[in-house]
Amino acid sequence: MLRLPIAAVLVLVAQLACAQNTAEPERVAGTVSLVEGDVRFLDAKLQARRPKQGDAIYEGEGVVTGADGEVHLDMQDGGYIGVRPGTRLNIVNFKAEGGQDDSFVLSLLEGSFRAVSGWITRSSGRRAEVQTHTVTIGIRGTDYEPLVIPEGSKAGEAGTYNRVNIGETEMRTAQGSVVVRPNQAGFVPHRGAGAPKLLDRIPPVFRPTHNEKRFEGLHLRIHQNLEQKRQQRIQQIEQHRRAKAAPAKATRFQEAQQRERQREAQKSALRAQKNVEERRRLQQEHERAAKKGAPEERRKHRAEKRE
């Protein structure tokens, strides 16, 4: 395939990530299970990093692999993705919280990956798509391999290929659609507007890597425990929400206590002021009474002297 300089590739993936990512920040899409060779993750701030095993990749981030690069990802919905060498992939959207609104959208600009889908594709109400320059691929609980050959490549005719190993996918354009089933491959050319078509055989453009054995029996292993993983994810999300809400609840309680203390302080100040005013009033009355009674006492005293 035609290879762009790594810097140019990073810029292209960054532009796509910024244009398409409207999701919440820092939502984990998956974690690195295997990484070999030249692999970069690119975040929404255009910062590239070299991932290592166990690192997270987030919704909205891009993946770029060099000619010797390969990275495999354990996805949050229990699925698995192996990104092959010479690939540019963007995780446009990936929400896996166990609910009916879970969804993912992957954008493949060049190269290929192999994936076993998780629980997101088990319900027709959930959106699960791979988008390329020419076609949208709807995923229906499957082991599948999309591949994009760019213009000018010697690898084969430019366009989007899609191979299915287990399950099925649907390739859609404005001109039509086709369902791709096991041991089939579909194709949409890069140039010209046309409906997807099934190929009469699996083309040689699909080249497995030396890590392909990781996919042997993987679909069965994943789907045996998928519902358990979904329930665990639901519990994890609920615990996270409770933990996140706890500080806010504590803050509201503290604020309420502070307001109550302020009200009590105001009441105490008012009572103290009323006490001062009452004492002042009594003192004034006493002084007035004393002044009024003084002449009467003097007259009484003079009368006693005359007697």
- Could you read off the pLDDT of 172-204 as tens digits, one per residue? 999 999 999 999 999 999 987 789 999 999 999
Least confident of 105-114, 120-129, 207-216: 120-129
Would the pLDDT of 258 be above 50?
yes
As its CATH architecture, domain 6-214 has Sandwich (2.60)
- Our CA dihedral for 285, 288, 293, 295, rounded to 10 degrees, sits at 180
Both tokens of 204, joined, read 């040689």
The two structure tokens encoding residue 32: 């690195």
Measured between alpha carbons, how far apart are the two ends of the chain, in Å? 139
Residue 212 is classified by DSSP as G
Q: Which residues contact 19 (CB under 8 A, 6 or more apart)?
A: none
What pLDDT was estimated at residue 124? Answer: 54
Instruction: Tell me what pLDDT residue 21 has.
Output: 46
Looking at the chain, the whole-number percentage of residues with pLDDT higher than 70 is 84
User: How do beta strands 88-95 and 127-131 pair?
Assistant: unpaired
Structure-block tokens of residue 282: 């009594």
Of 3 and 138, the one with more pLDDT: 138
What are the φ and ψ backbone dihedral angles of 140, each rounded to 5 degrees? -130, 75
Give the C-alpha separation, 199 to 206, whole Å.
13
Q: How confident is the model at residue 298 (pLDDT cuts 50, 70, 90)?
A: low
**Mean pLDDT along residues 51-68:** 97
Q: pLDDT: is 69 or 307 the higher one?
A: 69
Compute the distance between CA of residue 139 and CA of residue 63 in angstroms, rounded to an integer: 20
Residue 107 has a pLDDT of 98
Average pLDDT over residues 232-258: 81
